């Protein structure tokens, strides 16, 4: 008699088995490009069954692969904004070709590691700052923030991904709907930085909501400390012309600094080719000119990102826990006409550093 396939295989998997699978997958990635046969073998041996038998599924396998890669990154000695190392690590991962119903319903497309490094470079995080990730996924953005020395506040609504985040980072991971993150988070501490890759077209309560990304951004903006920075991966439609109502609400809370249209091939390894915007906002009340540009790859985005990183406001604690905002001494003027600059490809770094 065939064993019935469980509705959710993650419910029957112990934390010990998840940890074991992550370690084995990480060892494979650390040494060589991961093969689908190797990933399937590890999961079959660890979870005592096949995907066909319901012991695991390929969406779970991809999430485990992503989390294991993040563990490899955290064990290495890469700097927080090291895009070359992130590219090398991402090149060792499988191209994701299978999707689950839940992934589509919740729009669970993780942030590619090289794109995550670019996002965090724009955030200009300082050691000891608190960083909120309201839809943390498998932890790519959180990992780069951790490399920068940040204290993490992680939220993720998917149960498996919550467990993976706890396994990778330790500590608490909340499971709230990111659309209401400001209302639901219990901690009184306000984050200095928010980094986010919210769902693009779906919400927990509604099957399709074309404004859900903007609602997630606005909720995170409300939670952000005065003077803080928010960096988000957003759909191309989030503009003053195409979504005037939500754009106006966001700009009532934040000052926009940068909107870079990114090509779809950035997401190729994750099995999609959606075009996105890398957007940077500061929670300050001041006039500022937002730079808009379209780039063809991450290298072309770097000059824009590094320029906006240099404009970040410095936040210092004063008596009573209030924040004093000072302009960074490295502020640079950003011109609307600043042209994109094509950079040389990153050098070949060879094999990933051995896990320590």
| Domain coordinates in residue numbering, the chain | 10-79, 101-326
Summarize the confidence of residues 28-49 as an average pLDDT. Answer: 97
Q: What is the pLDDT of residue 345?
A: 32
201-257 pLDDT, tens digit each? 654 554 567 899 999 999 999 999 999 999 999 999 999 999 999 999 999 999 999
Candidates 3.40.50.150, 3.30.420.10, 3.90.550.10, 3.40.50.720; CATH matching 101-326: 3.40.50.150
Higher pLDDT, 161 or 327: 161
Nearest Cα residue to 284 out of 317, 327, 246: 327
Pairing of strands 323-326, 314-317: antiparallel
pTM: 0.86
Residues 6+ apart with CB under 8 A from 148: 80, 120, 125, 126, 127
DSSP 162-217: HHHHHHHH-S-EE---GGGHHHH----PPPSEEEE---SS--SSSS--TTHHHHHH
CA distance 339 to 183: 41
Mean pLDDT, rounded, for 265-286:
93
pLDDT score, position 319: 42
What is the pairing mode between strands 276-282 and 229-234? antiparallel
Per-residue pLDDT tens over the stretch 79-137: 888 999 999 999 999 999 876 555 555 555 799 999 999 999 999 999 999 999 999 99
Distance between CA atoms of residues 340 and 255, nearest Å = 22
């Amino acid at each position: 008699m065939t064993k019935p396939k469980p509705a959710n295989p993650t419910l029957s998997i112990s934390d010990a088995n998840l940890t074991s699978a992550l370690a084995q997958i990480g060892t494979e990635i650390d040494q060589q490009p991961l093969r689908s046969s190797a990933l399937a073998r590890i999961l079959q041996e660890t979870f005592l069954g096949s995907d066909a038998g319901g012991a695991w599924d390929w969406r779970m396998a991809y999430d485990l692969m992503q989390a294991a890669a993040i563990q490899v990154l955290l064990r290495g000695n890469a700097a927080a904004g090291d895009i070359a190392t992130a590219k090398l690590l991402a090149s060792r991962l499988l191209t994701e070709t299978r999707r689950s119903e839940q992934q589509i319903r919740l729009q669970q497309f993780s942030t590619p590691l090289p794109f995550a490094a670019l996002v965090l470079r724009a955030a200009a995080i300082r050691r000891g700052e608190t960083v909120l990730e309201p839809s943390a996924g498998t932890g790519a953005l959180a990992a780069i923030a951790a490399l920068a020395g940040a204290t993490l506040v992680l939220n993720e609504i998917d149960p498996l991904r919550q467990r993976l985040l706890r396994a990778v980072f330790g500590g608490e991971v909340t499971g709230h709907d990111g659309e209401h993150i400001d209302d639901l988070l219990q901690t009184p501490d306000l984050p200095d930085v928010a980094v986010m890759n919210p769902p693009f077209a779906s919400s927990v309560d509604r099957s399709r909501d074309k404004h859900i990304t903007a609602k997630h951004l606005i909720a995170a903006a409300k939670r952000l400390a005065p003077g803080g920075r928010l960096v988000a991966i957003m759909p191309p439609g989030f503009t003053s012309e195409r979504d005037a109502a939500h754009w106006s609400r966001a700009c009532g809370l934040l000052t926009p600094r940068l909107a870079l249209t990114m090509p779809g091939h950035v997401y190729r390894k994750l099995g999609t080719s959606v075009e996105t915007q890398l957007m940077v906002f500061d929670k300050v009340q001041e006039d500022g000119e937002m730079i808009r540009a379209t780039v063809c790859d991450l290298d072309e985005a770097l000059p824009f990102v590094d320029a906006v990183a240099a404009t970040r406001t410095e936040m210092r604690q004063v008596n009573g826990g209030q924040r004093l905002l000072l302009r960074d001494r490295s502020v640079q003027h950003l011109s609307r006409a600043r042209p994109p600059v094509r950079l040389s490809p990153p050098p070949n770094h060879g094999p990933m550093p051995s896990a320590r």
